[in-house]
Structure 1
C-alpha cells in the first residue's frame, strides 16, 4: 500500500494508524486518510471535490481536502479497490454536540455554491427515489413470502413489511401534497447536506467532515435525519435538547412552511427500517447479521413509540408555524389513536 500511495501521490510514510473507520498515515506532520470510494461514480467524486473546495474556501475549517494524484486524478487503486486520499484539517475546537447554529451556517454557505451539480444532486428527487426503493423491497418481500421464512429475521420482515409499506405511502403522499400546495423560497434552494446526519457522524465531523458522505439537497434532510437519530438512540426524545436545537437553527436560518413540511415528510419515510432490512441481506458477516436482527427487533418492538414521535413532530411543527396549513396523517393524530 505504501508503494501504491508513493507512486500515485508522491506521499511517503512509515506506518498507518486508525482514524475512525479508515486507515490513515502522516506525511510532514499532516494526517491523511485512505477512504474507499468504489460506491461513487467518477463524476460524483469530481462534484464532491468542487463542493469541498468551495466549503473550505467559505470558511468550513473541519472539511477534509480531496487530494489529487500526481496525474491529477481524484481516485487511485489502493489495496485493489478505488480510494480517495483525504487531507485532514489541523485540529479545530471540539464541541460534543452539534448546535443548530453551526448547522444553519454550514447550510447557508453550501446554498451559495454557484455551479450546477448532477450526480450529487438529490433535490426534488425524493419521490422517485422513495418509490424505487419501496418497489424493489416489495418485490423482494413477495419473493420471501412465496419461499416461506427460513429464520426468525425473515419471519419478522414478512410480518412487518405491510405496515412500513403503508407508512411509506403516507410519506410519499405527504411529499406530493407539499410540492403541489406549497411554494419554495430562496432558503429552500439546494445546499450541502450529509447522506445521513447522526450523532455518531457529528462526533466524526468534529475531527473531519468527509466529503464522500455529502449530497446536494434540501436542508430539511439534515434536520429530519438528525431528529430521527436523536429519537432512535433510546426510542425517546429529549424534548428540551431537541427544541433548543431546532429553535437555534430557525433563528439563524428561518424555516419556511415548505421546509417544515419536507422535514415531516422525510421523518414519515421509515428509512431506518429499509436500511436495517437491506443491511441484513447485503452483509456476509454473521456478526453483522445478528446486529441487524437485533436492530429490527428493537424497531418493531418500539414502533408505537415511533408513532408517538411522529405525532410529537407534527404538533411541534404546527405550533411553530401558525400559518402552516399542512394536512394531517389521520391515523397519526392523538384523536384517532386515543380510540384504540
Structure 2
C-alpha cells in the first residue's frame, strides 16, 4: 500500500504503526491511513468541513481525508477505491479524564461558525422522534403480515411498550422546550451520530459527526454504561458527568433534555433497524430478549436519575415521569 501513497499522493513513509485496529504509515510528520472506500458515498462537503475545523483547532486525534495529486478524495488502486486520511501523532500524555475530554471536544465544537444543513439535529429532536416512531410503526405493521418468526412475534408483543415510552419522552421533551433556564453551554456544537467513547480512542474517524446539543453525546454514553456495564455502570456515569461538569456545567434545560433523550428508547430503535436489514432472526431474537431484561435495570436507573446525580429536581422544579418512581 506504500506504493499508493507514493504514486498518487507523493508521500514518502518511514515506518508503520497500529492505532485503533488500523495500520498507519508514518511520514511528513503525520500518520496516514488507507481506508477502503467500499460502497460509501462521496465525502460530503459539510462532513469534511467539520473534520478540518476540529483538526485545525487542536483535536489531534482527528483523521482528515487527503486529496490525491489529481485533487480527488478517492483513489482507484489495483481495482479498488480507497480514501487516505491523515492525523498528527497521538498525544498519550493527557491527564484529562474521559468526561473532561468530551467537554473539551464540545467546547471546541461550539466554536464552529456554521450550522450544517444536512448534518444538524439541533432543536429538531421532537419532530425527528415523532417521524421515527411513525415510520417504525408503519414498518412493524407491514412486517407483521409478512413474517411469522419468533423474533417478529416477540417484537410485536413488545412494541406497544416501545410506543408508550417513546410518547412519554416526546411529551417530556415538548414541555422541556419551554424551559428558558439555559446558558451558553446549550448552544449547538459538533457531536457524534452515536457517541461510543470515541474521545478515549486513538483515532477520530471522519463521517461520524453531527451538529447538535452536547447532551446528545452525554445521553448516549450514559445509555451504554447503564445497559452494558451492570451496577458498575451507575458509578461510572456519575464520575463521568461530574468530570464533564468541571469543564462545562449543565443548565436546568440541559438536565431536562438529558432526561428526555435517555427516556426515548434509542437502543430499541437501533436494534429494530438492524432487524429491517437482516434475516438472522435467531440472533435478533436473542438480542431483543436480552435488551428487554436490561431495560428493567435501565428503568430503575431512570427512576432514580436525578438523585443519582445529586440534582434536587423538586427544588429546581424539574418534572419526572411518575410511573418510573
Per the normalisation by structure 2, the TM-score is 0.85
Q: Distance in 2 between matches of 1:128 and 1:266?
A: 13
Are positions 1:292 and 2:284 aligned together? Answer: yes
Are the counterparts in 2 of residues 144 and 158 from structure 1 also a CA contact under 8 Å? no
User: In structure 2, which of residues 260, 267, 276 is the aligned counterpart of residue 272 of structure 1?
Assistant: 267
Matches within 5 A, 1:9-24: 9-10=9-10, 20=20, 24=23
User: In structure 2, which of residues 300, 303, 311 is the aligned counterpart of residue 308 of structure 1?
Assistant: 300
Query: Which residue is 2:180 aligned to?
Result: 182
Distance 1:3-1:129 versus aligned 2 partners, 3 A rule: farther
Are the counterparts in 2 of residues 196 and 225 from structure 1 also a CA contact under 8 Å? yes
Q: CA deviation at 1:53?
A: 1.8
Deviations 1:267-318 (A, max 9, x none): 011111111111122136x4xx554332211111232212102112243357
Q: Distance in 1 between matches of 2:161 and 2:77?
A: 44
Q: CA deviation at 1:8?
A: 5.4
User: In structure 1, which of residues 148, 151, 161 is the aligned counterpart of residue 149 of structure 2?
Assistant: 151
Secondary structure of 1:211 counterpart = coil
Are the counterparts in 2 of residues 8 and 70 from structure 1 also a CA contact under 8 Å? yes
Query: Which residue is 2:69 aligned to?
Result: 70
Deviates more, 1:179-188 or 1:258-267: 179-188
Q: Distance in 1 between matches of 2:178 and 2:35?
A: 44
Q: CA deviation at 1:162?
A: 0.8
Q: CA deviation at 1:124?
A: 1.0
Q: Distance in 2 between matches of 1:110 and 1:99?
A: 16
User: In structure 1, which of residues 165, 168, 178 is the aligned counterpart of residue 166 of structure 2?
Assistant: 168
Query: Which residue is 2:31 aligned to?
Result: 30
Secondary structure of 2:116 counterpart = coil
Q: CA deviation at 1:156?
A: 1.0
Q: Distance in 2 between matches of 1:82 and 1:124?
A: 37
Structure 2 runs not aligned, ≥5 long: none
Query: Which residue is 2:219 aligned to?
Result: 224
Q: Distance in 1 between matches of 2:236 and 2:253?
A: 24
Q: Distance in 1 between matches of 2:132 and 2:82?
A: 27
Query: Which residue is 2:244 aligned to?
Result: 249
Deviates more, 1:100-109 or 1:112-121: 112-121
Secondary structure of 2:33 counterpart = strand
Deviations 1:44-79 (A, max 9, x none): x22222222222222211111221233333445678
Distance 1:83-1:280 versus aligned 2 partners, 3 A rule: farther
Are the counterparts in 2 of residues 260 and 317 from structure 1 also a CA contact under 8 Å? no
Distance 1:52-1:234 versus aligned 2 partners, 3 A rule: same
Deviates more, 1:228-237 or 1:244-253: 228-237
Q: Distance in 1 between matches of 2:268 and 2:92?
A: 35
Structure 1 runs not aligned, ≥5 long: 334-340
Q: Distance in 1 between matches of 2:148 and 2:109?
A: 47
Q: Distance in 2 between matches of 1:330 and 1:313?
A: 13
Query: Which residue is 1:56 aligned to?
Result: 55
